[in-house]
Structure 1
Amino acid sequence: MTFARTYRLAIAAGLGLLTVAAGAFAVYSVRQVLVQVLIALFVAVSLDPAVRLLIRHGVRRSIAVGIIGVLVLAVLAGFVWSLVPPLVGQAGDLLANIPHYQQELQERSRTYREIADRYGLTERLTELAKTLPAKVGGGALGVVTGIFSALVNVLLVTVLTIYFMADLPRIRRGLVRLVPRSSRPRAAQAVNVVVDKVGGYMIGNLIISLFAGVSSFVCLIALGVPFALPLAVWVALTDLIPMIGATVGAAGCCVVALVTGDVTSTVVVVLFFVAYQQLENYLIAPRVLRNTVDLSSVAVLLAALTGGAILGVVGALMAIPIVAAIKVLMTPMVEALNEPPARQPPAEPPVPIPAPRDEDSSKLEA
């Protein structure tokens, strides 16, 4: 190989590495926008079953997307308008009364008093309660900036979701056209399975979380536990997290019930969450998520952990239906590999050639 050819190959390799590095840097620079696009696409796919339901009843897709969008925005606005003011008020009261509740718990429980004296919990909580208003007031500008940034992000995701919902059939056809013509039927099936799994799982998961929040609110109100509304919202939000969300939500409610009430109400709250968790696992979730996600507990846990490590809570929610769709697509291939080889039909015995008769042999000799 000549020096000129070696030099040209080195230049080509260097330019290739530079191009890959530039592409990776560009993707890293716009990672926040890409995450918002991915979230919007996921939300659009999640709402697609409702849009298709309206389309099956003779509604045009554009009108169906508008109806679903208006309904979702109305529900979110009603939720914020009805829950946020009392939620903020009760949450503020809870934070303000933490030292008082902590003092009462220390007087009632000897074990907690020993732990608090050993690790200085009383002093720390008192100091936190005194400095929290100053911290909040001093960081008012940061809070306002954060709220404004969150509103802009929500608006961007909402607009992208509406666009994705309107153009979802075109996007699906475009994805199918990226593969060779011979593989397009398989690609179309894969896209349809992913859309069905994601949409069904997300809608079902929201319904289950609504059940959890409402039932927790009723239980806490019946037992007279204070701050029932923020605790119920907390349970509904944490119930969206796979595997551990329900336990985290129940733990928060039990701690508040123990601090603000007596031991009897705390025991009843614990028993309620234990019973509800069994009811959700064996009755509500199987009925709501029927034919949606069919994964083992280990697969769900690994998918949630991987998605959570990549995109946080949103990634944990997105990972499970995607893994379920991959399982559905891979199942026929795995079954084909495990099938025994087809039995070949037995070979027909060769047809014997009759020996020539004497007269035939005499004719051949002549």
Structure 2
Amino acid sequence: MSDSLRAPEEPGPSDFANPLTSREVQRASVWIGMVVAVALIWMLTQPLLLIIGGIVFAALLDGGVRLLGKILPAPRGIRLAIVAVLVVLFVMGFMYLAGSQLAGQAQALRAVVESQVTRIMGYGHQYGLIPADQNAADLGKQLVGSVGKVTAWVGSALGALSSLAMIVVIGLFVAIEPRLYERGIAWMLPMDKRADFYRTSDKMGHTLRRLMAGRLVGMGVEGLFVGVALSIIGVPMAPLLGVLTGLLAFLPNIGSIVSGALIVLVGFSAGTNIGIGAIIVYVAVQTFDGYVVVPMVARRAVDLAPALVLGCQLLLGALFGILGLALADPIVCMIKVLLEEKSELAAEAEAEA
């Protein structure tokens, strides 16, 4: 057949010079990239949570360094070393002074809680509120399952210690020179987006420091007040309950519910009057923390809706276990700041146009 009789050639699907083919390949690449990114994030959730935990710990250290800088005009490295040493000394001193006493009380607390739960189960069986074939162990499993799975890598003592060690190491490295990592992330962004990134990063850091400051103050206030007040009214194991209340205060909403249940159970184990007094102490401490401490320290900078935080705690706890539950509040805080800054930047760009 003569060349003059052949149909004119058109670009095929393998010819990327065709604008249509090139555009479709780019669209497909975007969708494939998004699917791969989501899959990688899901598979790497545990390391990502450890990194976020390290950033949160770095924010705590950075807040201490900035606070110390107001009274000690020393280089940042020296102030960070002082803050780290003080933290280590506090933890070691606390464990040395109260460790043996609290360890003994922990065994007694477990026995008291088990007996009180069994007693409540008995009332439930008597009045038909709980099925007769359900015992306290089954109820405990249901409660744990409703909060979320505790993965083996966090649930075991070795996994918890290794995870905590990684969080501390990452936090120390970030706190030593935070601008280094900030510039590294900004380097991967277009030049015209870097100023917006620095602005958002500064706002995130400020808000996270305020949030963590509020958590620390709340932990100290709740733990101290609960321990002292329960000791005054005669609740058994008051020091241990104060320590647990302080530690659980790091988990807003859920932590207060768990600590309140422990306080009430132990209080009523010593008598009705002491149990009522324990309820009054718990309500008073939570009211003081919610209406005085939190507004003074963190709410003006964070302003997170309690229902939003609780919902995210339940979701992240169900998906990722204890670490997801503990980091739900900081994650929501950073996402909220990111969305607010994006909205403000869009409004500014629209106003300039």
Unaligned 5+ segments in structure 2 are 1-7, 140-151
Deviation at 1:231, TM superposition (A): 1.9
Query: Would the alpha carbon gap of residues 314 and 100 (structure 1) be closer, same or farther in structure 2, given more than 3 Å must change?
Result: closer
Residue 6 of structure 1, aligned match among 9, 13, 25 = 13
Q: Are 2:288 and 1:279 equivalent residues in the alignment?
A: yes
- The 1-side partners of 2:159 and 2:347 are apart by 49
**8 Å Cα contact 1:225-1:261 kept in structure 2:** yes
Q: Under a length normalisation based on structure 2, what TM-score does the superposition of the two structures give?
A: 0.73
- The 1-side partners of 2:183 and 2:217 are apart by 30
**Alignment-derived partner of residue 322 in structure 1:** 334
Aligned-partner residue type, residue 341 of structure 2: L
- The 1-side partners of 2:103 and 2:250 are apart by 21
**Alignment-derived partner of residue 201 in structure 2:** 191
**Alignment-derived partner of residue 142 in structure 2:** none
Deviation at 1:249, TM superposition (A): 1.6
Aligned-partner residue type, residue 328 of structure 2: A
Unaligned 5+ segments in structure 1 are 129-141, 343-366
Deviation at 1:116, TM superposition (A): 8.8
User: What whole-Å deviation, never above 9, does each CA across 1:293-343 have from its counterpart, x for those lacking one?
Assistant: 12444544455455545552223221242144235425635766998x99x
Q: Under a length normalisation based on structure 1, what TM-score does the superposition of the two structures give?
A: 0.71
- The 2-side partners of 1:101 and 1:302 are apart by 29
Deviation at 1:40, TM superposition (A): 0.9
Q: Are 2:298 and 1:289 equivalent residues in the alignment?
A: yes
**Alignment-derived partner of residue 213 in structure 2:** 203
Deviation at 1:85, TM superposition (A): 2.8
Tell me the C-alpha RMSD between the 2 structures. Answer: 4.2
- The 2-side partners of 1:117 and 1:332 are apart by 52
- The 1-side partners of 2:55 and 2:66 are apart by 16
Residue 265 of structure 2, aligned match among 255, 259, 266 = 255
User: What whole-Å deviation, never above 9, does each CA across 1:211-252 have from its counterpart, x for those lacking one?
Assistant: 111111112111211122332222223222223432332122
User: What whole-Å deviation, never above 9, does each CA across 1:248-277 have from its counterpart, x for those lacking one?
Assistant: 32122112211x121111112212222222
**Alignment-derived partner of residue 247 in structure 2:** 237
Aligned-partner residue type, residue 58 of structure 1: P
Larger radius of gyration: 1
Residue 58 of structure 1, aligned match among 57, 64, 73 = 73
Deviation at 1:32, TM superposition (A): 2.8
Identify the structure with bigger relative contact order (alpha carbons < 8 Å, sequence gap 6+).
2
Aligned-partner residue type, residue 114 of structure 1: Q
**Residues 1-366 of structure 1 aligned to structure 2 (within 5 Å):** 5-6=12-13, 30-55=44-69, 57-96=72-111, 111=123, 114-115=126-127, 119=131, 124=135, 146-258=156-268, 260-289=269-298, 291-305=300-314, 307-308=316-317, 311=320, 312-326=324-338, 328-330=340-342, 332-333=344-345
Deviation at 1:27, TM superposition (A): 5.4
**8 Å Cα contact 1:303-1:323 kept in structure 2:** no
**8 Å Cα contact 2:105-2:240 kept in structure 1:** yes
- The 2-side partners of 1:47 and 1:168 are apart by 11
Query: Would the alpha carbon gap of residues 309 and 197 (structure 1) be closer, same or farther in structure 2, given more than 3 Å must change?
Result: farther
